[in-house]
A and B are shown apart, each in its own frame.
With several copies, the nearest count.
Chain A
Amino acid sequence: MDFSLSKSQIEIQKAASAFAKGEFDKDAGLKMEKEGRYPAETLQKACDLGFIGIHFPEQYLGAELGLFENCLISESLCRRDSTMGLALCLTGPGAECILRAGNTAQKEKYLPGVADGTLFTAIAFAETGQGFDLRGLKTTALKNGEGWVINGKKPLVLNGGTAGVYMVLCQTDPAADNPDPQMSLFAVDADAGGLSWKDAGRRIGCNMLSAADIFLDNVRVGPDSLVGDKGAGLALASACYKELHVLLAAQAVGIAQGAYDRALDYIRQREQFGKKIGAFHISWHKIADMATRIEYARTLVYRAAWAFDSGKLDYSLAAMAKMTAAQTALAVAYEAVQFFGGYGFTTEYEVEHFYRDAKFVDLFLGSANTQKELIAQMILGKMK
């Protein structure tokens, strides 16, 4: 085993940190978070420097690197500013579907836009009340000549309203008796007739990006909209979740580290009862716990990212990484807020949005309950 980053990985990490340090303005960030505005200029610069879509092939403006490098960037950006980091790293969650399963035409159509910051993408898989799996989705795509007609609704889609394309998971054989109903994945352009959206309002975190409920009302799409094979939708969605779980986990590690950095700075400066907060023994216990959690979460997340790039990541390790890192981010950010006391509760200091963003990452694409389902399915699922 070798736990050291390669030279080029260290360079990427340094570059991302330097970029965040140079471009993220604390006050502007706090304001944008509050107002739910998108940092468009910063995205442009991030794209110019190649941070977005670094895992894309070169012909689609990527650097042909791996999930590992993508994770290093995510971690560095979120460490500097949790909301800004999420905003920059989650412009293209649907792009992974295209990248991993799309055909050449689809890649050409969508990937360069994601990499140069002109296109936001969205995944619209889940629906209300499907429990832990996606088998019960009600959105249908029915064959109509060469193409398809899509009907349904998808609640609370991240980037809803701003995305140029939606990856929509649909039932394509709703009448089938098959206990594993046939699902397929479609890339539906935002300007497709019949697609509409309604802003979903502020969220618990990640407020620089938009979110909306998406309505698909007799949306007609051509055969070229099908991503991957007909009937492969569930597998593709799961694979996409798997990659995103690791990416979110890396973001969570960044959030945890950023909250920790701020807490450590604060308790080294701030005095209470005549001594630095950091000199209180309870601070020692808390800091030791926080640091330990960050170390084990980061190490696990790196392992998951490495496994993905080595072609051997299973659902269970991805889910473990997501659950562990998100819970670490939450616990660390919680204590950071507590160290700051009353100030920690105000939006003047950053720790409160690190805490909310940690909860966002914890819930987004499945809370711990969902992750446990995925893990146990791998271990015990065969038993039934």
Chain B
Amino acid sequence: MDILQYTAAHTQFRERLREFCQREIIPYVDQWEAAHIVPKSVWKKMGAEGFLCTNAPVAYGGHGLDFLYSVIVAEEMTRTNHTGLAATVHSDVVVPYIVSYGAEAVKKKYIPGCTSGDIITAIAMTEPDAGSDVAAMTTTAVEVGGEVEINGSKTFITNGINADLVVLAARDPDAENPHQAVSLYLVEDGTPGFERGRQLEKMGWNSQDTAELFFNKCRIPLENRLGEKNMGFVMLMEKLQQERLMCAVSAQFAIEFIVEAAVSHCKTTTDSKGKPLSKYQGLNFQLVEMMTNAHVGRVFMEKLVADHMEGLNVARETCMAKFWHTDLSQKTAGQALDLFGEAALAERNPLVRSWRDLRVLPIFAGTNEIMKIVVGKMSGL
């Protein structure tokens, strides 16, 4: 049985995208990694060819395609082995907030640009001292008259430098219950009082412009609030399923990418007597185990994607997948480097970048420890 129903249209889309990646992304990745950012122009190219916001409704300028297209984008982007052009974060994590909670005018104003790549988005939730603890958020938003004044700072913001539009979570300083105090706002680039901080230098994700953002008496129109006031926590919870699912999905594709590379290396590298590494049984079994884990992960992921597409509440299973898949990605990347041996010491080996980039997956979108806490609670432990 096929759990996911890929049609000819999906396949065609994937082929077009793969060709796009070969042409417009892969040749430039080294350059972007060195620059620690991707040019905005490539976002526009990607938008122009129809690869952004595939899932956003046509009525607001999106492509109105099913979620499988998002999965395809995630897969093909993972295969470019870089993280700078974080299309999935943009199309499937940030823009859905606007689609679900934006006022009519706001949707009409922004989504077409998000789809064309003229507007790059980011979501600003994490704060320097709060980490995974949303209740400890200190950035405030005070609604006065028709405006909102925002003060505070955010960190670890993906697309932070390139972002033209930021979905921001901030606290109502007057609210008593910290879980009913958060609202979401849209802040445009160029709004007075909105400043970028340092670009963060990291172990991996080197082409990603992860940054700090500062808000100092930053005023935005009230219509830029997403949804009801102080309902931000509920909205975040609602959207986390898809965000975490995309983490698991990306980890799964990374695992497959790495296993393919390791298999190919071991089949083509021979010892002095012409015996390929893959015929050394100790290594052969490792490859088999890696392939098997990748296969198991694929089935688990596809089932979850199918359930998500059916609109089921699979929050618990998604948290499981988030830690299961991202943990497996660590193990797989490490095993692959071991199979390359000393050749994996040099960064010119592409799997070194995979290994470095993947290390953040068990940390972001809720650390894997948080995932386990959530699963435990949802399981009545």
Closest to A334 in B: B330
Evaluate contact between B347 and A285: CB separation under 8 angstroms: no
Does A359 touch B at the CB level, under 8 Å? yes
Of all chain A residues, which has the CB nearest B200? Answer: A346
Whether the Cβ atoms of B272 and A129 lie closer than 8 Å is: yes
Q: Identify which of A131, A136, A345 gathers the most chain B CB atoms within 10 Å of its CB.
A: A345
Q: How far is the CA of A137 from the CA of B271 in the complex (A)?
A: 10
Contact B280 A281 (CB under 8 A): yes
B332-352 contacts to A, CB under 8 A, are 334, 337-339, 341-348, 352
Best-surrounded residue of A272, A284, A347 (most CB of chain B within 10 A): A272
Is the C-beta of B237 less than 8 angstroms from some C-beta in chain A?
no
B-facing residues in A166-187 (Cβ within 8 Å): none
Inter-subunit contact B281/A281 (CB<8 Å):
yes
Determine the distance from Cα of A59 to Cα of B239 in the docked complex, in whole angstroms: 71
The answer, among A347, A362, A370, for a CB contact under 8 Å with B201, is: A347
Cβ-defined contact, B282 with A281, below 8 A = yes
Q: Is the CB of B202 within 8 A of A338?
A: no
Q: Report A-chain residues with C-beta under 8 Å of the C-beta of B338.
A: 362-363, 367-369
**When the two chains form their complex, are residues B345 and A282 in contact, meaning their CB atoms are under 8 A apart?**
no
Q: Interface extent on A, as a size class?
A: 35 or more
The stretch from A9-17, A66-74, A77-85, A199-207 touching chain B is A199-207
A128 interfacial contact with B, CB 8 Å: yes
Which of B62-70, B110-118, B131-139 lies at the binding interface?
A: B131-139
Pick the residue among A128, A130, A272, A372 that contacts B131 (CB under 8 A).
Answer: A272
Whole-angstrom distance from the CB of B367 to the nearest CB of chain A? Answer: 6
The yes or no answer to B109 lying at the interface (CB within 8 A) is no
Least CB distance from B94 to A in Å reads 18
Binding-face segment, B71-79, B227-235, B305-313, B354-362: B354-362
Q: Which of B133, B203, B341, B352 contacts A346 (CB 8 A)?
A: B203
Q: Is the CB of A367 within 8 A of B341?
A: yes
**Cα distance, A137 to B367, chains bound together (Å):** 38
Assuming the contacts A135-B272, A355-B359, A369-B282, asked whether A345 and B202 have C-beta atoms less than 8 A apart, the reply is yes
Specify which chain B residues have a CB less than 8 angstroms from the CB of A240 in the assembled complex: none
Q: Which of B126, B273, B330, B347 contacts A201 (CB 8 A)?
A: B347
| Residues of chain B contacted by A368 (CB below 8 angstroms) | 338
Contact pick for B367, options A136, A341, A346, A359, CB 8 Å: A341
Cβ contact of A330, chosen from B204, B334, B346, B368, cutoff 8 A: B334
Which residues of the other chain, B, contact A285 by a CB distance below 8 angstroms? Answer: 281-282, 285
Cβ–Cβ contact A204 & B343, under 8 A = no
Residues of chain A contacted by B19 (CB below 8 angstroms): none
A364 x B345 contact (CB < 8 A): yes
Using A370-B341, A372-B282 as known contacts, say yes or no to A352 and B203 having CB atoms under 8 A apart. yes
Task: Indicate whether A282 sits within 8 Å of B281 (C-beta atoms), given known contacts A136-B273, A341-B132, A342-B364.
Answer: yes
Interface residues of A in 129-169 (CB under 8 A from B): 129-133, 135-137, 155-156
Contact call A273/B133, Cβ cutoff below 8 A: yes
| B259 in contact (CB, < 8 A) | no
Point out the residues of chain A lying under 8 angstroms from B369, CB to CB: 282, 338
A348 to chain B: which residues have CB within 8 Å?
200-201
Q: Which of A275-292 contact B (CB under 8 A)?
A: 280-282, 284-285
Chain B contacts for A130, CB-based, 8 A: 271-272
The smallest beta-carbon distance between A213 and chain B, in angstroms, is 9
Cα distance, A177 to B359, chains bound together (Å): 48
In whole angstroms, how far apart are the Cα atoms of A367 and B335 in the complex? 10
Chain A binding surface SS class: mixed
State in angstroms the CA–CA spacing of A131 and B281 once bound together: 13
| B269 interface hit (Cβ, 8 Å) | yes
Flag whether B275 is at the interface (Cβ < 8 A): yes
The interface residues of chain A lying within 8 Å CB-to-CB of B275 are 131
Write the chain A residue with the least CB distance to B135: A273
A130 vs B273: C-alpha distance when bound (angstroms) = 8
In the assembled complex, the Cα of A133 lies from the Cα of B341 at a distance in Å of 13
Q: Quick check: is A298 within 8 A (CB to CB) of the other chain?
A: no
Query: Which residues in B have their C-beta under 8 angstroms from that of A338?
Result: 362-363, 367-369
The answer to whether B163 has its CB under 8 Å from any CB of chain A is: no
Q: Which of A328-350 contact B (CB under 8 A)?
A: 330, 334, 337-338, 341-342, 344-348
The reply to whether B282 and A204 contact each other, CB–CB distance below 8 Å, is no
Say yes or no for A194: interface residue by CB 8 A criterion: no
Across the interface, B133 reaches (CB within 8 A) one of A205, A272, A347, namely A272
Complex: A273 Cα to B269 Cα, angstroms: 27
Query: A356 to chain B: closest CB distance in Å?
Result: 7
Contact of B204 among A131, A200, A345 (CB under 8 A): A345
Which A residues touch B342, using CB under 8 A?
Answer: 126, 156, 363-367
In the complex, the answer to whether B282 meets A337 with C-beta atoms within 8 Å is no
Question: Which chain A residue lies CB-closest to B353?
Answer: A204
For residue B194, give the distance in angstroms from its CB to the closest CB of chain A.
21
Interface check A360, CB cutoff 8 A: yes
Q: Which of A129, A280, A334 has the most CB atoms of chain B within a 10 A radius of its CB?
A: A129
Identify which of B201, B341, B344 gathers the most chain A CB atoms within 10 Å of its CB.
Answer: B341
Task: Say if the beta carbon of A211 comes within 8 Å of chain B.
Answer: yes
Write out, one digit per residue, whether chain B residues 243-287 have a CB within 8 A of any chain A CB (1) or not (0). 000000000000000000000000001111101010011111100
List, in ascending order, chain B residues with CB within 8 A of A341's CB: 131-132, 363, 367
- B270 and A131 form a contact (CB under 8 A): yes
B156 is an interface residue with CB less than 8 A from chain A: yes
Check if A230 is an interface residue, CB within 8 A of chain B: no
Q: Given known contacts A338-B363, A355-B203, is B282 in contact with A284 (CB within 8 Å)?
A: yes
Give Cα distance in the complex from A369 to B339, angstroms.
8
Closest 5 CB pairs between A and B? A136-B272, A131-B271, A281-B281, A285-B282, A352-B203
- Ordered by A's residue number, 26 sampled pairs between the chains whose C-beta atoms are within 8 Å are A128-B343, A131-B271, A131-B272, A136-B273, A137-B272, A156-B342, A201-B346, A203-B345, A205-B345, A211-B345, A211-B346, A282-B281, A282-B285, A285-B281, A337-B363, A338-B363, A338-B367, A341-B363, A342-B156, A342-B363, A345-B204, A345-B205, A347-B201, A352-B202, A359-B337, A367-B338
